[in-house]
Structure 1
Amino acid sequence: MQGKGIIKFFAILLAVVCLYQLSFTFVAQKVERDAKDYAKGNLLKERSYLDSMATQPVYPLLKHTYQYCKDKEIALGLDLKGGMDVTMQISLVELVKSLSNNNPDVALNQALANASVIAKTSTADYITLFVQEYEKLAPNAKLAAIFSTKENQDHIKFNASNNEVKSFLQDQAKVAITQAKTVLTTRIDQFGVTQPNIQLQQGNRILIEMPGVFDKERVDKLLQGSANLEFYETFDNAEFYQVLINVDKILAAKAKINKTDTTAAQKVAATAETKKDSTKADLSLLNKVQKNAGKDSTSALGKKNQLNQNPLFAVMQLNTRQGENGQPQLGPGPVVGYSAQKDTAKVNAYLNSADAKSVIPHNVKLLWGVKPIEKTKIFELYAIKLSGAENGPVLAGDVISDARPSNDQKGNPEVVMVMNSDGATKWRRVTAVAAAKEPKKAIAIVLDNNVYSAPTVQNEIAGGISSISGNFSIEDTKDLANVLKSGRLKAPAHIIGEEIVGASLGQEAISAGLTSSLVGLLVVLIFMVAYYNRAGTVACIAVVINVFFLMGVLASLNAVLTLEGIAGIVLTLGIAVDANVLIYERVREELAHGKSLRIAVTDGFTHALSSILDSNISTFLTGFILYIFGSGPIRGFATTLMIGIVTSLFCSLLISRLIFEWMLKKDIQIKFSNPWSSHTFKNAHFAFVKNRFKFYIFSGVFILAGLVSMFTQGFNYGVDFKGGRTYIVRYDQPVSSESVREAVVLTLNKETIVKTFGTSGNQVSITTTYLIDDNSNEAGTKVQEQLKTGLAKVPGKYQIMSQQTVGPTIASDLKSSAIYAVLFAILIISVYILIRFRKWQFSLGAMIATAHDALLVLSFFSLFKDVLPFSLDIDQKFIAAILTVIGYSINDTVVVFDRIREFLELHHAKTDKPEEVINQAINSTLSRTIITALTVIFVLVVLFIFGGDVIRGFSFALLIGVTFGTYSSICVATPVIVDFGKKDLR
């Protein structure tokens, strides 16, 4: 074996890296266990403990903080942790209307309405559909006449073609979607979600995953609110610091007096308002307070004393800096204080109290910066000046006509902001006032009550074009430019898909996933040792190392582990053994030829390499296609599958080889079978090719029956393929699905479907299309209220464990993507087979076999959709199963093809009949085919039994798919080669 030193070095390096990446999960979980022990069931206390540990070093060796470790740990998906999954769609209808200045043109508005209807079933982008519809309605009209407004004149000329207008609208749509993602990201960050996942998806959609969040009404309100951009004048820190000192004094005094003594409180407030202490005295006092806080704030008594003596300054620091004389001096600008993220809520409570408001001027609004100071969890507090009789901003965001990232003369990142004529006039007046002050004033750019930037105005700005500079990165300028455009690009986001997984259901999924993984691993290990003796032990070691490497790589990629991901791990356990089986069967053949153990091992690895690579590459391709076309949990499954294939190849081909080399060097006896398994499938002579027409008839009849069933009774489509709302409801006692249906149909609609969910008898799945086309914020609440009214009529207490909402548009797109994914997978694999085997008969056989497997599984799901006691829904998980079956089937087929090619080369004389050679090749691989299939079937049975109700249909699809795939590799794919290649194969 060449390069053993390099392989050992790489294996050790990979092990160290994986251990390092997994260590973050161990450290974060230890801190969380400490928090639970400390809180003793008090969730607020537990949360407070974790917040306080966010910036504390908790990693013993490298001094990483808890927050750093938390960000690096293996993230759990919603189905394991519980939480909300929201798909939002940007309203491009309203965007186009705003870009046309709400032009009343009849053709324009009719084209928008038509495009909205077509978009529900079309894969084309909305802007393209709109332009097509407009040209149908007004074939001689030009869009430029509508969109070449004063605000758009820098981009669209009056004589621009419709294609140029279309490109402009598409660019603006991209900007609006990116800007919406920026706004939504900020809102989610402020919601306090741990490890949120926000992704731009196909078209104009944004996927938001929020683990641990269950307040649907609050989330819906937060995410669907319109972005509000405003410009405010600011106070300078020197003008405002005394107000904060007075607030701290009144809060401290209030803590000392009797809560019922309102007269005393009023006296304290009056004293704080009228007292004119010197700046030096107050700052000296503050300096003393902060020094004392630094000395004893670590003790519980010290914290309590600080909170009593200086309540506000115990959780907030004034904007001061140390002067040359060692005394604190006020920092410049509109920032008046700093606070740790965990303390901002406490600061807000203090500043919004009646006592604080009694000394804070009415024209002041205190707002936090949108992001923490770089590499910290510290946020800046700004003093915003309210203007005019309405106490509002000096300028609204709708005056912005353009904003773009740029660079100043020194190459530093900045943002160029362009205003319309009305805005330019107001901006000139505002900047003139700000620049004339001493010190010069800053203008705060505020979106959704968060300060994104507060640049100081150096000079009066005429013409409406401004440059905003600061300590910006390139990404900062992009974000700020998108924020500035939010005032003009009116493109609200609506929720079109939503899923809520209850925390208890998530915990059950974790238990089910862990159980299925451990039992699956145990079954594989026992079987390999039982069948392959000591060589099976080597395979077991390789499989365990493979799981370790797989988890380490997932952690390093910050992949989200879902229940489908755990299914991918369990499936990988079965597939990982396949390479070992191929090698061991080859070694057994070499030993049967009388070779020594050392030579047999070497030749076994060498001769099996081609089959192993071909089979695993083809399976990897299906995983890649699944990743491209899938979303959410399905991507998690695909990611796990692809990584598992790579790590299993490394362990099976290299780690196993190293172990065998070591055992041979130590003269350790290696056996590749037990007495009962040594002759299994040896000298098999089944007439597969001769009986091929019987297989054709069986497959043809089954598929024909399935097609008839598909066209007559169809499928049970999951909510993600037909649209609607699905609720998983658990009762405290067994209930019949029929009684639940009778109750909820009266309050929802007749199309409502109720099915038993799981095997416990007390859970039902309820799917309804009631109000699915209603995009209002209240629609989901109305549906749930009606549902609860119906559920209350069924005897027993109930709990809604999870809920999912999918709009008609996203359902249509998912269905189209699924069809394309399956067809594309079959095509790609067929091309790969053609390249590898250089005969079109092999490629045709692979194509027919994979299509055959897909049709058999579809037929099964249609024929038995209402027969089996568990769900056989056609949804995204089912498509993942179909693609995995295709990958597994082609894996099997490639191994058989590889042996056929080898045998045809050995028996190339024209006297040898191809039918006999091919039949002999099939029989020679029968042991490997059956053993691998049994291994995978074992783990899938474990997954089916222990994996939980959520993926029972998914695991069942895999189970029957693997069975059909094994059958097709032997009985369909190879006979096709015989019937289409009788001449070419001689």
Structure 2
Amino acid sequence: MQNKGLIKLFAFLFGLVSIYQLSYTFITSKVEDEAETYASAKIPSTVDNYVAEREAMEARYLDSIGDNTVLGFTTYKDAKKKELNKGLDLKGGINVTLQISVKDILKGLADNTKNPVFNKALADADTASKNSDDTYIDLFFEAFENIKGDSKLASPDIFANKGMSDEINFQMTDDQVKPIIRRKIDESIVSAFEVLRERIDGFGVTQPNIQREGTSGRILVELPGARDIARAQDLLSSTAQLEFWETYEPGNQSLINFFIQANDRLKTMVEVSSEEEVKEASEIDSLLSDVAQDSLDLTAESNPLFEKLQLNGPGYAIAIAAIKDTAEIGSWLRMPEIRRLLPADVQFTKFLWERPSQDSEVAGLFALKSNRDALPRISGDVVSDARDQFDQFNRPAVGMDMNVRGAKEWEKLTSEANLNNTGIAIVLDNKVYTAPGVSQVGGISGGSSEITGTFTVNETKDIANVLRAGKLPASADIIDSFVVGPSLGQEAIDSGFTSFMIAMIFVLIWMIFYYGKAGIASDIALSFNIVLIFGVLASLGAVLTLPGIA
């Protein structure tokens, strides 16, 4: 007992340190409550998308006061980094399950072959997967075996292609090829897992959880504290396929003639709109005329295409349409009967829609100069760095730097665009984000470029994040997503805290009732230990969950 004083001193010091560590949690809670009160006062509950608007206002408030001193010794941003991390069950957040497309991986390994047996096996595997628990690769191998005839997996136009020549040759049997394909698929899923991890690290949540679910290609992602599910879905499912294309010049006569012929052909293929649809189309035409007053007035009741599409859009857009009609127009333009109408000088044209602004009701259609292989002039693998920034008009934008090869191609492409009076379409995941013209004679040297548009700061951060992390080796389809929000999350917090406090009070009372003065000492020690445990959790950056409390 001679060291009792030293023990008390250490206990006192540890207690102070724990209280100091927990103070950051109280500070962030206080500031966030103030932000919620401020946002609730500013945003009327009657507005559309009230919850989203209020949360956006909260985020702006917290961002504006993030560097202000709180309680004289820290800032909100610093306190947020040091607060006690709470898990998804306590804090709420977003839970997303992704399915990495094994079909896309197989197509990539086969170099996007046109082999009919291979593609029929993929189609059969798609059908079988709807009613089977077997993995997609097993279903594909089974389907291929059933229809292969004289074909084999090691055919030069399937897996024994140039890209796989180091591992597969045409003399190998199917049984020899299958393990290699399985390994390649697993490597691609691991690659997708790492890309997603890098993206999530830049999302700005504490202690995210990401894990694979066996060999199925499914990946589970938990983002504690995140609320914007649309933003999370875009971040996780984006393949980050960045491409640079040259557009055709505005008013290209060959393309205008194509649209006129396509409209005539569609008259015999598409049922004419009802009177109600025609009335609605005329209202949309009125909206479109405000956007493009010089457009050709070709809309009529008997014109299926021109009821929905107006030529000569703004900038380098070849046409413009209401967003709700873009899917139908796109399906028409992909029809083989319609594609065959393209004149020889524009026969490989690639049509893509722009990414519309959040409040827009219309979208521009861009005609991109393509080739027989449908490959872009420059692909995203030449981008060495990406960052969120502001453009010359102080609007959120994404800046990019290219490697040496990309810089040379960029200078050549921009030089041609300047000579041809065409635009450069910057395309991400088959959406045209921007298509500026090039005024600089001789092109733009140095390999720097910029994606501009109607972005928010969070959107530019996410775009830069996915470009830095790299593209996914295959598409990631969201098969399940939900927000653990004010209902489930708050109920969990309230019930967990209530049960904890009730149990704590009963234990303290029982200890005093049964042990008397010794029970009081035990209660003090128990309370001190709880503070100490939470303080250590906060200092280590560990995550507190409901099972942890239990």
Q: TM-score, normalised by structure 1?
A: 0.31
1:90 aligned residue (96, 100, 116): 100
Structure 1 CA distance for aligned equivalents of residues 70 and 185 of structure 2: 50
Inter-CA distance 38–106: structure 2 relative to 1 (3 Å threshold):
closer
Query: What's the CA shift for 1:556?
Result: 3.3
Partners of 1:453 and 1:351 in 2: how far apart? 18
SS at match of 2:162: coil
Is 2:201 aligned against 1:201?
no
Superposed CA offset, 1:403-435 (max 9, x none): xxxxxxxxxxxxxxxxxxxxxxxxxxxxxxx9x
Q: 1:451 to 1:194 in 2, by over 3 A?
A: closer
Q: Secondary structure at the match of 1:495?
A: strand
Contact 2:117 2:147 (8 Å CA) reproduced: no
Q: Which residue of 2 aligns with 1:657?
A: none
Shift of 1:40: 7.0
Q: 2:388 touches 2:460 (CA, 8 Å); kept in 1?
A: no
Residues 680-720 of structure 1, C-alpha deviations (whole Å, 9 max, x = no match): xxxxxxxxxxxxxxxxxxxxxxxxxxxxxxxxxxxxxxxxx
For structure 2, the residue ranges without an aligned partner over 5 or more in a row are 43-53, 247-383, 402-412, 431-439
Tell me which of 542, 552, 556 is aligned to 2:535.
Answer: 552
8 A contact 2:96–2:222 mirrored in 1? yes
1:72 is matched with which residue: 82, 90, 94? Answer: 82
Give 1:447-486 correspondences, 5 Å limit. Answer: 483=470, 485-486=471-472
Tell me, in whole angstroms, the C-alpha distance in 2 between the residues paired with 1:443 and 1:153.
36
SS in 2 for 1:511: helix
Counterparts of 1:218 and 1:85 in 2: how far apart (Å)? 13
Q: State the SS of the aligned residue for 1:147.
A: coil
Could you tell me how far 1:117 is from its partner in structure 2?
3.0
Whole-Å separation in 2 of the counterparts to 1:76 and 1:15: 21
State the secondary structure of the residue aligned to 2:98: strand
8 Å contact from structure 2 (residues 92, 484) kept in 1: yes
- Offset of 1:497 from its aligned partner? 2.2
- Rounded to whole Å, the distance in 1 between the matches of 2:231 and 2:489 is 21
State how far apart, in whole Å, the 2-side matches of 1:85 and 1:453 are. 21
CA shift for structure 1 position 521: 0.1
Shift of 1:88: 1.6
Q: Are 2:93 and 1:49 equivalent residues in the alignment?
A: no
| Distance in 2 between residues matched to 1:386 and 1:351, nearest whole Å | 27
2:93–2:485 contact (8 Å) kept in structure 1: yes
Aligned position for 1:151 = 163
**Structure 1 residue 506: Cα displacement:** 3.6
- Distance in 2 (alpha carbons) for counterparts of 1:35 and 1:215: 17
Q: Does 1:392 align with 2:397?
A: no
* 1:452-531 → structure 2 map (5 Å cutoff): 483=470, 485-486=471-472, 489=473, 491-503=474-486, 506-531=489-514
| Aligned match of 1:102 | 112
Deviations 1:117-140 (A, max 9, x none): 399646xx7657756776787699
Paired residue for 1:27? 27
Decide whether aligned partners of structure 1 residues 175 and 212 sit closer, same or farther in structure 2, where only a CA change above 3 A counts.
Answer: closer
**Shift in CA distance, 393/46, structure 1 to aligned 2, threshold 3 Å:** closer
1:423-822 correspondence runs (5 A): 440-444=445-449, 483=470, 485-486=471-472, 489=473, 491-503=474-486, 506-562=489-545, 564-565=546-547, 568-569=548-549, 571=550
Change over 3 Å in CA distance of 1:168–1:183 after alignment to 2: same
Distance 1:533 1:31 in 2: 42
> Take 1:453 and 1:85, find their aligned partners in 2: how far apart are those partners?
21
Residue number in structure 2 paired with 1:368: 398
Query: Structure 1 residues 224, 527: closer, same or farther in 2, change over 3 A?
Result: same
Asked if 2 retains the 8 angstrom alpha-carbon contact of 1:91 and 1:494, the reply is: yes
Aligned ranges for residues 751-900 of structure 1 at < 5 Å? none
Q: By how many angstroms is 1:523 displaced?
A: 0.5
Residue-by-residue CA offset, 1:203-245 (whole Å, 9 max, x unaligned): 4333344556666567656654553312589xxxxxxxxxxxx
Deviations 1:822-861 (A, max 9, x none): xxxxxxxxxxxxxxxxxxxxxxxxxxxxxxxxxxxxxxxx
Q: Which residue of 2 aligns with 1:178?
A: 194
RMSD, aligned CA: 5.2
Matched, 1:117 2:147: no
| Bigger relative contact order, structure 1 or 2 (CA pairs below 8 A, ≥6 apart) | 2
CA deviation vs aligned residue, 1:295-323 (integer Å, no higher than 9, x gap): xxxxxxxxxxxxxxxxxxxxxxxxxxxxx
Q: Which structure: larger Rg?
A: 1
Q: Work out the percentage of aligned pairs sharing the same amino acid.
A: 34
Residue 49 of structure 2 corresponds to: none
Hey, which of these two has a bigger chunk of helix by percent?
Answer: 1
Alpha-carbon distance between aligned partners in 2 of 1:174 and 1:3, rounded to the nearest angstrom: 55
Give how far 1:536 is off: 3.0
1:168-196 alpha-carbon deviations (Å, 9 max, x no partner): 3321232133334545666xx3xxx7548
**Aligned equivalents of 2:119, 2:8: Cα separation in 1:** 68
* Distance change (3 Å), C-alpha of 1:500 and 1:39: closer
* Counterpart residue identity of residue 173, structure 1: I
In structure 2, do the counterparts of structure 1 residues 216 and 439 end up closer, same or farther at CA, with 3 Å as the change threshold? closer
Amino acid at match of 2:241: N
Distance in 2 between residues matched to 1:90 and 1:48, nearest whole Å: 34
Q: 1:97 to 1:10 in 2, by over 3 A?
A: farther
Cα displacement (A) at 1:67: 1.8
- Unmatched segments (≥5 aa) in structure 1: 234-333, 353-365, 372-383, 399-433, 455-475, 572-986
Is the alpha carbon distance of 1:527 and 1:221 closer, same or farther for their aligned partners in structure 2, counting shifts above 3 Å?
Answer: same
Alpha-carbon deviations, 1:106-157, whole Å to 9, x = none? 36753785597399646xx765775677678769976443223333445655
Q: Which amino acid aligns with 1:177?
A: F
Shifted more, 553-562 versus 436-445: the winner is 436-445
Aligned length: 362
Question: Distance in 1 between the 2:149 and 2:519 partners?
Answer: 73
Measured after TM superposition, the shift of residue 89 of structure 1 is 1.7
> Residue 199 of structure 1: CA displacement?
1.4
After TM superposition, the score normalised by the length of structure 2 is 0.51
8 Å Cα contact 1:528-1:540 kept in structure 2:
yes
Contact 1:445–1:453 (8 Å) recurs in 2: no
Contact 2:96 2:478 in 1 (8 A): yes
Structure 1 residue identity aligned to 2:423: N
1 CA distance for matches of 2:18 and 2:2? 25
**SS state at 1:499 partner:** strand
Q: What SS class does the counterpart of residue 516 from structure 2 fall into?
A: helix
Q: Secondary structure at the match of 1:87?
A: strand
Distance 2:460 2:61 in 1: 27
Q: Alpha-carbon deviations, 1:898-926, whole Å to 9, x = none?
A: xxxxxxxxxxxxxxxxxxxxxxxxxxxxx
Q: CA distance change for structure 1 residues 165 and 539 in 2, over 3 Å: closer, same or farther?
A: same
C-alpha displacement of 1:24:
1.7
Residue 499 (structure 1) shift: 2.4
Question: Following TM superposition, by how much is the alpha carbon of 1:520 offset from its aligned partner in structure 2, in angstroms?
Answer: 0.9
